């Protein structure tokens, strides 16, 4: 059993924060793991995490500490998950994507491009004896009520489906970013294969440069998806799912690993959004899957509750997909992204409390289960896909 790695990252003050509040910040560094936070209303708090990245930390520091060991393990067939959490504007996407996935200087490259580099570094150092196939899927899960683009509304059937889904709070609309026609990715669970994203597109990655092109294509589609649904990225979760198939040789069955990177929707509370009436109702739904995530973390860390040992993974699509990452067969890291400004201290406190709680989750990554054809698999072969190797994963 190993704990989830939990880190906090403080971005530099934004120009707006500087303009309104000067240079003051609400946190004080104690060391690389510990800092204190001052909130005007709630008082002083001390937090200790596995590592704290302060505003002068570089992207490479975050990658090296938090992601590199998980990439290495994924290559060995151990599942991994890396999650960015925090209020809108706190640095989740900056940490994940950098500034621009294709045109980013070395220093600003985010986790995604560094993870891809890590895969190919490991492939080139592994020699000829092991053959790897790396594939990428990109899925966006949209929160809350969907407002249709009036110029280009979806079909009546789809609108009916969304209507039903919105009420249940369980099935948030989700898009396959490599095939926008797949806009309600189904999640299935099987005893032998674990959680499956059924029929999602898997793009093979051949080298780092080409991989970034593919990633960039998916990110462009995300913008299209958001416009279709009238949603901004702060109201959706982005999931980047890498699968790593390892074939040793004809006699030895290779291992299979998956690495999921998750850029979560903004975790801000309702009061802050100033939403009223219909917008307020919508904001409540937006937070549903994040509160489902909070409930799962709570159930995993608070021990038996009134509902026995029940962990409410099924309460949202996000928590179902992350079932393995949270308390299952995965090495998991959580990056709590925060603003250092006193004006955001309450949200920062809430983000850090989430991280502190997640720290107590026990996960149990298991290489054995990824060694044979009954390995846990995240992505099911598409029914139309004609790739015999995938079918045996």
Distance between CA atoms of residues 294 and 314, nearest Å: 13
Decide whether 79 or 233 has the Cβ nearer to Mg ion. 233
Contact, 165 vs 132, CB < 8 A?
no
Whether the CB-CB separation of 362 and 112 falls below 8 Å is answered with: no
Residue of 48, 88, 216, 366 interacting with ligand ADP (CB under 6 A): 88
Q: How far apart are CA 379 and CA 393, in angstroms?
A: 9
Q: Which residue is closest to Mg ion by CB?
A: 93
The residue count for binding ligand ADP (CB under 6 A) is 14
Q: Which is nearer to Mg ion, 226 or 247 (CB)?
A: 226
Residue 89 touches which of Mg ion, ligand ADP, none (Cβ within 5-8 Å per kind): ligand ADP
What binding mask, one character per residue, do residues 294-333 give for ligand ADP by CB under 6 A, x or -?
----------------------------------------
Q: What is the DSSP letter of 108?
A: G
Among 292, 318, 337, 380, binds ligand ADP (CB under 6 A): 337
- When binding is defined by CB under 6 A, the residue of 7, 70, 74, 90 that contacts ligand ADP is 90
DSSP codes of every residue in 291-306:
HHHHHHHHHHHH-SBT
The smaller minimum CB distance to Mg ion, of residues 183 and 263, is found at 263
* Annotated binding residue 273: no
Asked whether 67 and 96 are in contact (CB, 8 A), the reply is no
Measure the CA–CA gap between 20 and 43, rounded to whole angstroms.
22
- The tokens for 284 are 């409540």
The answer to whether 93 contacts ligand ADP (rule: CB under 6 A) is: yes
Question: By C-beta, is 11 or 182 nearer to Mg ion?
Answer: 11
What are 333's two structure tokens?
């890291």
Smallest separation (angstroms) from ligand ADP to the CB of 27: 14
Query: 91 a known binding residue?
Result: yes
48 binds, among Mg ion, ligand ADP, none (CB under 5 to 8 A by kind): none
Near ligand ADP by CB under 6 A: residue from 26, 78, 92, 355: 92
Structure token digits, residue 272: 């802050």
Is residue 261 within the footprint of ligand ADP (CB under 6 A)? no
* 99/252 with CB nearer Mg ion: 99
89 is a contact residue toward ligand ADP (CB under 6 A): yes
Sites of contact with Mg ion (CB under 5 A)? 92-93, 233
Strand partners, 36: 28, 46
Site for ligand ADP in 26-85 (CB under 6 A): none
User: Residue 272, annotated ligand binder?
Assistant: no
Which residues, 96 to 155, sit near ligand ADP by CB under 6 A?
99
Cα distances (Å, whole numbers) of residue 306 to 26, 66, 295, 303: 37, 35, 13, 10
89 a known binding residue?
A: yes
Query: Is position 94 an interface residue for ligand ADP (rule: CB under 6 A)?
Result: yes
Answer for the pair 298, 357: CB distance below 8 angstroms, yes or no: yes
Bridge partners for 139 per DSSP: 176, 239
- Residue pair 45/36 in contact by the 8 Å Cβ criterion: yes
The least CB distance from residue 145 to ligand ADP, in Å, is: 21
3 near 363, Cβ under 8 Å?
yes
- Is 225 or 381 the residue whose CB approaches ligand ADP more closely? 225
Q: Check the annotation: does 88 bind a ligand.
A: yes
User: Whole-angstrom Cα distance, residue 264 to residue 140?
Assistant: 10
325 is in an annotated binding site: no
Interface of this chain with ligand ADP, residues 178 to 237, rule: CB under 6 A? 234
| Residue closer to ligand ADP, measured from CB, 63 or 119 | 63
Helices (H) and strands (E) in the chain, counts: 13, 17
Helices 345-358/288-302 angle, 10° precision: 40
Ramachandran quadrant class, 199 (left: phi over 0; alpha: psi -120 to 50; beta: rest): left
Return the residue of 77, 80, 86, 342 that touches ligand ADP, per CB under 6 A: 86
Cα angle 107, 113, 117; round to 5? 100
Q: How far is the CB of 136 from Mg ion (least distance, A)?
A: 19
Binding residues for ATP, as ranges, are: 86-93
Binding residues, as ranges, are: 86-93
Q: Where does this chain bind ligand ADP (CB under 6 A)? A: 11-12, 86, 88-94, 99, 234, 266, 337
């Amino acid at each position: 059993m190993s704990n989830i790695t939990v880190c906090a990252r403080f971005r530099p003050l934004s120009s707006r924060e500087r303009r309104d509040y000067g240079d003051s910040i609400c946190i004080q560094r104690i060391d690389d793991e510990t800092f204190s936070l001052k909130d005007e209303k709630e008082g002083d708090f001390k937090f200790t995490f596995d590592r704290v990245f302060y505003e002068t930390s570089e992207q490479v520091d975050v990658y090296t500490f938090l992601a590199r060991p998980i990439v290495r393990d994924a290559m060995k067939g151990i599942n991994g998950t890396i999650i960015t959490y925090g209020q809108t504007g706190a640095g989740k996407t900056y940490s994940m994507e950098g500034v621009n996935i294709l045109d980013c200087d070395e220093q600003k490259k985010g986790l995604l491009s560094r993870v891809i580099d890590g895969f190919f570094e490991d492939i080139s150092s592994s020699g000829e004896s092991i053959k790897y196939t790396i594939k990428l899927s990109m899925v966006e899960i949209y929160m809350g009520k969907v407002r249709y683009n009036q110029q280009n509304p979806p079909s009546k059937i789809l609108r009916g489906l969304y209507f039903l889904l919105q009420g249940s709070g369980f099935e948030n609309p989700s898009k396959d970013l490599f095939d926008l026609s797949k806009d309600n990715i189904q999640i299935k669970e099987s005893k032998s294969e674990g959680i499956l994203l059924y029929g999602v597109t898997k793009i093979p990655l051949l080298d780092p440069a080409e991989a970034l092109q593919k990633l960039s294509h998916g990110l462009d589609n995300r913008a299209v998806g958001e416009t279709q649904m009238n949603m901004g990225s702060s109201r959706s979760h982005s999931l980047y799912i890498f699968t790593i198939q390892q074939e040793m040789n004809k006699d030895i069955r290779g291992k299979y690993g998956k690495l999921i990177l998750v850029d979560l929707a903004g975790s801000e509370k309702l009061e802050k959004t100033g939403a009223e009436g219909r917008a307020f109702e919508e904001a409540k739904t937006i937070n549903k899957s994040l509160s489902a995530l909070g409930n799962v973390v709570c159930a995993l860390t608070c021990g038996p509750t009134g509902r026995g040992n029940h962990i409410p993974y099924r309460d949202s699509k996000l928590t179902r997909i992350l079932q393995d990452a949270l308390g299952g067969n995965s090495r998991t890291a959580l990056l709590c992204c925060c603003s250092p400004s006193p004006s955001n201290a309450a949200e920062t406190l809430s983000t850090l409390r989430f991280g502190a709680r997640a720290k107590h989750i026990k996960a149990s990554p298991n290489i054995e289960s990824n060694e044979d054809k009954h390995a846990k698999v995240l992505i099911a072969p598409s029914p139309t896909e004609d790739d015999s190797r995938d079918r045996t994963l």
